[in-house]
Structure 1
Amino acid sequence: MSVLSSTATAVHAGKMATPRGGKAACVQQAPERNWTDDLPVCQLSGVGMVANALYEPDGSCPEERPCEDCALRFRSEERYLYGVFNGFGGNRVSNFVSQRLPAELLLGQLAPGDKDSKVKTALLQAFDVVERSFFESIDDALAEKADLQSRLPEGSGQYTFGTQYPQLVERLQALEREVGGGTTAVVALVLNNRLFVANVGTNRALLCRMTSGDGLDIVQLNSDHHMQNEAELQRLVQLGLDIEKVKEEGALGQIDCTRRIGDYKIKLGYKDIAALNGAKSEPVIAVPEVSGGTSLEGTIGFLLLASDGLWSALETIHGPGTANRELAILVAREFLLRSSVTAVAQVVVERVVQLHQETRLERAKNDGETHAIEQHDDATLLIRNLGFPPGGQALTNSNSTDLSFAGAHTYPVSVPYSTGQGHPGKTSVMLSLVMPYSGPIVNGSHSTGSTSDDVTPSNPVLSGPSPHTTLQSHTHSSSSSSGEGHLFRGPRQSSHVPPDEDGHVEPYVDFSEFYQLWNLEHGNPAGELT
């Protein structure tokens, strides 16, 4: 399985590797050396990333465009900086921001004893400086672009330009690739065991902490900046905009975000857009929403930074308002099986993308839309471990036999995927044996957010003194332990497996991981299940 290498630079878009399942994982492309190459990587964190792809009917997933996401995870003395950047219209802006932002926050601007207000101000200023620096970096290209456009005769169509002025048009296209696009950004800063989050756009920051009852408390630390956010709509109304007109004309450009970095066509040219030219000031801004500092003292859990492409894929699979919980449970479950944070992140992203593909293709088939274009966006997950025990360490390093910090007392087993015709599919899926559990999983949200889960579900108690188990597929029901989604859609037909000559049926469920975790829990790592 492909995982991201731990290097001293930000994770850049570029060359693609194809891991198991045919998904293209963004890996580093050997870029030019940057100053951040000398910054130490935070080894308590890891990044998983899968590039965008089209879903073909034959199951292949060709890349639609180069990966535009970036991530960073640096430490500098007692400062830790993490970020996920969801680029659009190219990767120029996301690359620029991932390289420039650390210079504004990790070069002595902050000290461990600084007050929360000073840290928040530093984050606000950093975003402002980075965007202004980007626009300054494209000044010459914008000037050249304007000059070339002035040479084209008015009233001619794009086809005429291409045939009569091929070199000029080619140069204009190259300049547009250089200056166009933008990025959303979610950044987390840990300073003196205090957590601060700054966000523009629709990436998410989730703080997941074990509770005293061995549950998992999930809190979204930022709000989504889009046209469904009431606070953002009110901000646009106060600027004098007609919200319905903005929506109807798609005036915000390539994405629905009301806050972003870059995107000169919207930022510098909004006066030329009919639905936006009545605004008193720039309607689309790069001013981050900043929260903190949340104390991490005594915290056992993990911090998640997820791109829009990841959590929106989860909502496609499980339904609106479910992404935060499903993502946290997936991560907790993988921590049971793996000791590498990067491996946990990569496996989770690949699993979400695989389930998204299966969900979209199955729905298109059921709706009779066999020729519909289905796809997924770049998906990125950054995990910072906050004392959460990976790879079964909680079982081997203590006397505890409780696995409930994974969302339930769970053991994984592998079962062949069943199609609607009752025949095994090409892949296997992970299910869980869910043991008696008493700790809740609680969804929370940032107090100003409007996009967190509408309900606050908790895991039911699987009561009974005996070790009775329940085999479950991973739907988004509250007793799910790893959020695998709807495995079986439509009626299932029974399929009879003929017995062998001794009257035995060949086993088709893989219990190897179940045995491993069971034996670890019961202090018999080398033994067999009894």
Structure 2
Amino acid sequence: EQQPSWTDDLPSCHLSGVGSAPNRSYTADGKGTEGHPLEDNWLKFRSENNCYLYGVFNGYDGNRVTNFVGQRLSAELLLGQLHADHSDADVRRVLLQAFDVVERSFLESIDDALAEKASLQSQLPEGVPHHQLPPQYQKIVERLKVVEQEISGGAMAIVAVVLNNKLYIANVGTNRALLCKSTVDGLQVTQLNVDHTTENEDELFRFSQLGLDAGKIKQVGTIRGQESTRRIGDYKVKYGYTDIELLSAAKSKPIIAEPEIHGGHSLDGVTGFLVLMSEGLYKALEAAHGPGQANQEIAAMIATEFAKQTSLDAVAQAVVDRVKRIHCDTFASGGERSKFCPRHEDMTLLVRNFGYPLGEMSQPTLTPTQGGRVYPVSVPYSSSQSTSKTSVTLSLVMPSQGQMVNGAHSSSTLDEATPTLT
């Protein structure tokens, strides 16, 4: 049951829409079942001083962390902390501080439960698996399970702030932000953040500086079941990393909740839309179609739905439903990609409009061919793949790889690295 929340009273942003779908696992007969309750969360608010806040949160091992982050982050960013006269550096500082407070507050909120867990464990005989314990210990084991449920889990978060017609992105983990702009050549798609995964060379370097074997981490690919190298919550990797073989040699906490911050990107003269999406959405499309093109495909789908739909929620939901259908059909087809599609995670898509035309095709006076809008694909930033010329128009835009300061790019204006190939 969703508890009422103080954020219910905040004005929602009507310039954005959200679509979502729960996780699915398919059985051989093609039926789908949910493996766990929904763990994604999102927010879209406008404050009184015309500051807009958007977030997409992807949880795992329960939804407690995603719910906590959504509530607390709003409190840290929308109660007057951001002002119209703030410089880029001020906004970055406020964002860094907000994430720091959210992480510390969450870990503090489970202090009592962690203490109870330690106390319960001390009452059990050491080295005996729970299922082999004599009956008198059953009550302790059951209580231990309940406590474990209360404290486990973590979240990845991507947050966007629009202030003074500038866009700022703060990212922890593997969700994505795309800025899609109308240009004379079509739709230019830029991924504004860098994925914090075991493939990310900057993150692997950070691990090596802590004394870890970065090569081995890259080879294994996941850390306690997640590819993400930055997370909010997840006390097991924060407090217990010395017990995790891959991380045990670290000089200090290797999995951090510090956001990498990009912006401010000027929105002056921009016609287009911002996309925030959970990892589950682009991963489902990559499972069906192969890696490398998900950003462009999703942007093109959104542009198509903008023409058809009359509300932004309908745009976002139609795209999520389409990805879901593609994934399901790929599994059912039994083709070569079928084996990559036995299940997908929760999927969330948030779209914020910057003057992009909505509902053109739903107006009887226009036909789809009028206006001649085309949607060329663009190539997202990738350190591992070299881009080659293809028959489509490429609009290649890369996030800046400027000097890193506290995990944030010290220089990340879009103008720095926008080579356009046509």
TM-score, with structure 1 as normaliser: 0.70
Q: Are 2:392 and 1:459 equivalent residues in the alignment?
A: yes
1:260 is matched with which residue: 210, 231, 236? 231
1:376 corresponding residue in structure 2: 344
Q: Which amino acid is 2:348 matched to? A: T
Q: Are 2:123 and 1:158 equivalent residues in the alignment?
A: no
Post-superposition offset of 1:287: 0.7
Change (3 A) 1:368 1:186: closer
Counting aligned pairs with the same residue, the percent is: 52
Q: Which amino acid is 1:374 matched to? A: P
Q: Are 2:244 and 1:308 equivalent residues in the alignment?
A: no
1:84 corresponding residue in structure 2: 56
2:168 corresponding residue in structure 1: 196
- More contact order relative to length (CA 8 Å, sep ≥ 6): 2
1:63 is matched with which residue: 7, 25, 34? 34
Aligned partners of 2:45 and 2:14: how far apart in 1?
9
CA contact (8 A) 1:251 1:275 kept: no
1:346 corresponding residue in structure 2: 317
2:419 corresponding residue in structure 1: none
Aligned partners of 1:105 and 1:231: how far apart in 2?
28
CA contact (8 A) 2:379 2:387 kept: no
Q: Match of 1:383, SS?
A: strand
Alignment deviations for residues 200-230 of structure 1 (CA, whole Å, 9 cap, x no partner): 11100000000034x0000000000011111
Post-superposition offset of 1:160: 1.5
Post-superposition offset of 1:33: 1.4
Change (3 A) 1:252 1:82: same
Write 1 or 2 for the structure with the bigger share of helix: 2
Post-superposition offset of 1:42: 0.3
1:111 corresponding residue in structure 2: 83
Q: Are 2:34 and 1:101 equivalent residues in the alignment?
A: no
Aligned partners of 1:394 and 1:300: how far apart in 2?
20
Q: Which amino acid is 1:110 matched to? A: L
Aligned length: 393
Change (3 A) 1:102 1:454: farther
Which segments of 5 or more consecutive residues in structure 1 lack a partner in the other structure? 1-28, 408-439, 461-477, 479-530
Post-superposition offset of 1:168: 1.0
Aligned partners of 1:34 and 1:99: how far apart in 2?
8
1:443 corresponding residue in structure 2: 379
Alignment deviations for residues 430-449 of structure 1 (CA, whole Å, 9 cap, x no partner): xxxxxxxxxx443354xxx6
2:354 is matched with which residue: 383, 386, 407? 386
Q: Which amino acid is 2:346 matched to? A: D
Q: Match of 1:442, SS?
A: coil
Q: Are 2:120 and 1:120 equivalent residues in the alignment?
A: no
1:169 corresponding residue in structure 2: 141
CA contact (8 A) 1:224 1:450 kept: no
Aligned partners of 2:180 and 2:352: how far apart in 1?
10
CA contact (8 A) 2:100 2:257 kept: yes
CA contact (8 A) 1:180 1:264 kept: yes
Q: Are 2:13 and 1:42 equivalent residues in the alignment?
A: yes
Q: Which amino acid is 2:254 matched to? A: P
1:186 corresponding residue in structure 2: 158
Aligned partners of 2:66 and 2:338: how far apart in 1?
38
Q: Match of 1:287, SS?
A: coil
Change (3 A) 1:179 1:400: closer
2:101 is matched with which residue: 108, 116, 129? 129
Alignment deviations for residues 400-430 of structure 1 (CA, whole Å, 9 cap, x no partner): 97544451xxxxxxxxxxxxxxxxxxxxxxx
CA contact (8 A) 1:336 1:406 kept: no
Post-superposition offset of 1:249: 6.5
Q: Summarize the alignment of residues 480-495 of structure 1 with structure 2, pairs less than 5 Å apart.
A: none
Q: Summarize the alignment of residues 312-327 of structure 1 with structure 2, pairs less than 5 Å apart.
A: 312-327=283-298
Alignment deviations for residues 349-385 of structure 1 (CA, whole Å, 9 cap, x no partner): 011011112213334x66997xx99111111100001
Aligned partners of 1:389 and 1:397: how far apart in 2?
15
CA contact (8 A) 1:52 1:379 kept: yes
Post-superposition offset of 1:318: 2.0
Alignment deviations for residues 180-205 of structure 1 (CA, whole Å, 9 cap, x no partner): 00000000000011000000111000
CA contact (8 A) 1:52 1:378 kept: yes
CA contact (8 A) 1:442 1:456 kept: no
Post-superposition offset of 1:244: 3.9
Aligned partners of 1:300 and 1:367: how far apart in 2?
36
Q: Which amino acid is 1:443 matched to? A: V
Change (3 A) 1:108 1:456: farther
Q: Which amino acid is 2:378 matched to? A: V
Q: Which amino acid is 2:392 matched to? A: N
1:53 corresponding residue in structure 2: 24
Q: CA RMSD in A?
A: 2.6
Aligned partners of 1:129 and 1:267: how far apart in 2?
15
Q: Summarize the alignment of residues 408-447 of structure 1 with structure 2, pairs less than 5 Å apart.
A: 440-445=376-381
Change (3 A) 1:458 1:394: farther
CA contact (8 A) 1:201 1:257 kept: yes
Aligned partners of 1:100 and 1:109: how far apart in 2?
13
Aligned partners of 1:368 and 1:255: how far apart in 2?
22
Q: Are 2:209 and 1:273 equivalent residues in the alignment?
A: no
Alignment deviations for residues 228-274 of structure 1 (CA, whole Å, 9 cap, x no partner): 11111111011100124445667721201100100000011112223
Post-superposition offset of 1:58: 2.4
Which segments of 5 or more consecutive residues in structure 2 lack a partner in the other structure? 395-422
Change (3 A) 1:292 1:162: farther
CA contact (8 A) 2:297 2:377 kept: no
Q: Are 2:189 and 1:218 equivalent residues in the alignment?
A: yes
CA contact (8 A) 1:145 1:172 kept: yes
CA contact (8 A) 1:251 1:273 kept: no
Change (3 A) 1:455 1:75: farther
2:420 corresponding residue in structure 1: none
TM-score, with structure 2 as normaliser: 0.87
Bigger radius of gyration, 1 or 2?
A: 1
1:469 corresponding residue in structure 2: none
Q: Are 2:161 and 1:228 equivalent residues in the alignment?
A: no
Q: Which amino acid is 1:124 matched to? A: L
